[in-house]
Amino acid sequence: MSVTRREMIKLSAAAFAAAALNIPFAGRTEATGEDQIEVDKWVKGACRFCGTGCGVYIGVRGGKVVGVRGNPAALTNFGFLCVKGFKGYMSMYHPDRLLYPMVRQEDGTFKRVTWDQALDLVAHKFKELHQKYGKDSVAYYGSGQCMTEESYTFNKLWKGGFRSNMVEGNPRLCMASAVGGYVTTFGTDEPAGSYSDIEKARTLFIVGSNMSECHPIIFRRIARQKLKSPEEINVIVCEPRLTATARIADVWLPADPGTDLAVFHCMAREMIKNNWIDKWYIQNLCRFTTGKEVVDFDEYAKFVDQFTPEKVEKLTRCPAANIREAARLFGSQGPTMSLWTMGLNQRTRGVWANNLIHNLHLITGNICKEGADSFSLTGQPNACGGVRETGSLCHLLPGTRPVADAKVREQVEHAWGIPAGTIDPKPGFHTMQMFASLGGERDDSKPIKAMLITTTNPAQSLPNCHKYFKGMQDAFLVVLDIFPTRTTQFADVLLPAAFIYEKGGVYGCSERRSQLTGQCVEPPGEAKPDLWIGAQLAKRMGFEKLIPWNGDNAPENYRKAWDDYRSCVKMTEHSLYGITYDRLQKSEAGLQWPCPTVDSPGTVHRYVRGKDPIMDMPEIVKVPPTALIYFYADQKHEGKANVFLRPYKGAEEPPDKDFPFFLTTGRVIEQWHSGTMTMRVPEIARSQPNAYVEINPKDAEEYRIKNGDLVKISSRRGFNILPARVVKASLPGILFVPWFDQNWDRMINRVTIDAFDEGSKQPEFKICAVKIERFADPKDVADMTIVSRVDDPFPGKIS
């Protein structure tokens, strides 16, 4: 039977779908998948549009990417992809791509230059600034979207070459509190368990996460469980908006933004009162502490006893009965898995909020068992693998180890082949301090005179962003990106970068899983991989020996950088020495660290004997031979985790008479971060063309606001003008605005607050106080604004 090309594509597409769903498919004899679709090759890789780490296959024909399919063998997504996964990559063919290096001229416009001219200029300027103002005058600001090899390389160049710890990245804005939570509770970063716990959990506790939009593939895994066994699976959602995520919940905990510390303590109180606790865990694996002194369990019970459900309801607006039921399900209907993202992290008490979730797991014994884990979902595709694990933050070294630790510095200096004492023991500036310290040479109050920014858009993504524009404008700013952005509008030098599928490399997702993406196609124009740019810069600044992977063969450069990295962390409890490029190329699903040897299968559950190879590696950590579960990174070497008695504290800027509303911000399913890529996919742009403000009908009525009316939303820092979306999803008194929109009137980070957590230094994007007023009748604002040309003028006043 002859089959037309269209029928063949249909059958092949159906076969992929059936394979992902594990459904027998008769049509497979005719259309067995990849060989039948006309592509030159399928290249295995990972999606780059959230932290889930979905496995994909990229179809290439005639040197162009022509299709994407989910990888059914990937253990993250089992073949499923979301709208961004399918469509987002099409932005790589948008005509706004930066194709050539450019340097800003005296008249303010950009001029095309050669790579040699651009790199020589950057190297010369950086060297000059180092000489004039010292080693810390040039900063690096990276991204959780860079490949691991790239972050590692820039980190090595700065800390091992320049001897400067002025290294930061945008994961400071999204994940730092999760890091702080894991490190203070368990002694080391990242979750104990894995996504596979979702299918084994009986109760799922989703906190501060609209995962239906932000992590839709993970949400699908949860929704599927719930759909399959609605009576058996319990879902609790703690979130101030009735999102699509909250709609599948058995129990919704609608606490006002920033008040949930009280809810978590109250849940602990109910668990203790009703004996939904695990005494063995408490006795053997928990250490109760105020953070200053160790106390006993009775002291902890007494502490949480003040958080009665009724008192907490008054404080948070979360119904007491809901808290009681949530505590019952969490404590008595386990195994229980918690998952959270920015609602917990982007807070001035983000670390504490993370600690209190861990508390609930520890006192109920819901960790280090199948289906039981305290799991932070990361927001970006490589915030974990690229930035946290490589230590590309101002206070860290590879292996998420503190730069202040002399032994760690010694080990890293040895691995890097640099003289002892090269690495500065003093941490650099965290992100907010770094941008606050950025300025021109004439400004003595600004010690950082230059910054290299890659794969991120701080001019739009920093909270209270206009405060930092002048520093970006006055400093010598070098930006690596694929498109013009609000940040490139301040750049002095633009270096055109390659998209993930034009270079390849490793991403590490939320569950400690490293996955390799192969290079699929060549970059357009003269765009280059970040790794090449970093290595060329190193060469020009005299650090060729430190960063020797500076050839023109991109895959080979990435392999060399990866090998250097895995050797550097070989003898750490984060070891991924056994995760070689060869293994990643062969593996459909990637590998999870710890994976200390090339024959290790990786680790699904950490801290468990028989499952975590580090438990039996005394050369790395000492674990008693009889211990089955042991938190080996415990700073006191007792194998225990800390259960914290954290006092209640609300938001930095709660609503008051003058600014009576909570403002909270977040993502929407269609758009990614500041919209620089997704807004260039027309179908995505049209489906969500502009930001808006969600208002509860009661508030809308009081302010005489109707759907579509333009609303002025003001904080103490700035204002936006946005169309109203009157919905019951937002509770009275709470407004929500998505943050992807580049339009000046709708850049919500002009309104948000830049107060930050004193431990993690992560800003409180999620909560500030605002007021609203009806501004004008409905107007078409679906303008899908993008910064389209490098010479587009910046719209705002810079002061």
Partner 1 sequence: MVITGSALFVETGSRESVLKHLKRYPRVTYHASSDSGTELVVNMEAEDLEELENLCAQLKDEVPQVVEIAHIYVNFEEEVEEASFGQKDKRRLKKPKFIDNREL
**Site of interaction with partner 1 (CB under 8 A):** 6, 9-10, 12-18, 20-27, 37, 59, 61, 64-70, 72, 79-81, 86-87, 90, 93-95, 97, 220, 223-224, 227-228, 524, 681-683, 685-687, 689-690, 692, 707-708, 723, 725-729, 778-784, 786
Nearer to partner 1, 11 or 604 (CB): 11
- CB neighbours of residue 344 within 10 Å: 28
* The token pair that represents 363 in the structure block: 């006192």
101: nearest Cα among 416, 473, 480, 581: 480
Which one, 125 or 226, has the nearer CB to partner 1? 226
Residue type at 269 in one-letter notation: R
Cβ at position 230, least distance to partner 1 in Å? 9
CB of 109 to partner 1, least distance (A): 20
Residue among 124 and 779 whose Cβ is closer to partner 1: 779
**Which residue of the set 44, 84, 446, 449 is catalytic?**
84
Catalytic residue among 50, 342, 368, 768: 342
| Known active-site residue 174 | yes
Closest to partner 1 by CB, 591 vs 679, is 679
Say whether 379 is catalytic: yes
Q: Which is nearer to partner 1, 71 or 457 (CB)?
A: 71
CB 555 within 8 Å of CB 519: yes
* CA 699/CA 703 separation, integer angstroms: 6
Which is closer to partner 1, CB of 87 or CB of 409? 87
List of residues 6+ apart from 388 with CB closer than 8 A: 171, 175, 179, 189, 190, 396, 400
Residues 493/101, Cβ–Cβ less than 8 Å: yes
Angle between helix 297-305 and 260-273 (nearest 10): 120
Q: Least separation, in Å, of the C-beta of 220 and partner 1?
A: 7
The answer to whether 113 and 472 are in contact (CB under 8 A) is no
Q: Report the distance separating Cα 269 and Cα 323, nearest Å.
A: 10
Q: Min. distance of Cβ 254 from partner 1 in angstroms?
A: 17
Assess whether 102 carries a catalytic annotation. no
* Beta carbon of residue 131, minimum distance to partner 1 (angstroms, whole number): 42
| Least distance in angstroms from the C-beta of 657 to partner 1 | 30
Q: Residue 239 pairs with which residues in a beta bridge?
A: none
Decide if 706 is catalytic. no
- For partner 1, the closer of residues 95 and 624 by Cβ is 95
Instruction: Single out the catalytic residue among 47, 166, 174, 677.
Output: 174
Active-site residue, from 47, 50, 175, 472: 175
Active-site residue 380, yes or no? yes
What backbone torsions phi and psi does residue 360 show, to the nearest 5 degrees? -60, -40
- Reduce the DSSP state of residue 197 to 3 states and report it: helix
What is the token pair recorded at 56?
Answer: 């994909």
Q: Which is nearer to partner 1, 450 or 669 (by Cβ)?
A: 669
User: Are the C-beta atoms of 90 and 672 separated by less than 8 Å?
Assistant: no
Terminal alpha carbon distance of the chain:
72
Residue 405 CB, shortest distance to partner 1, in Å, is 46
Q: How far is the CB of 95 from partner 1 (least distance, A)?
A: 4
Residue pair 255/316 in contact by the 8 Å Cβ criterion? yes
> Whose Cβ is closer to partner 1: residue 353's or residue 498's?
498
Concatenating the DSSP letter of every residue in 218-270 gives HHHHHHHHHHH-TTT-EEEEE-SB--HHHHT-SEEE-PPTT-HHHHHHHHHHH
Active site residue 8: no
Catalytic residue from among 145, 380, 489, 688:
380
Q: Are 349 and 258 in contact (CB under 8 A)?
A: yes
User: 448 in helix, strand or coil?
Assistant: strand
Catalytic residue, from 55, 180, 379, 602: name it.
379
Angle at CA of residue 656, ends 458 and 732, nearest 5°: 85
Shortest reach from residue 19's CB to partner 1, in Å: 8
Q: Which residues contact 97 (CB under 8 A, 6 or more apart)?
A: 482, 483, 496, 524, 525, 527
Q: Which 3-state string (H, E, C) describes 633-660? A: CCCCCCCCEEEECCCCCCCCCCCCCCCC
Question: Hey, which residues are catalytic here?
Answer: 84, 174-175, 342, 379-380
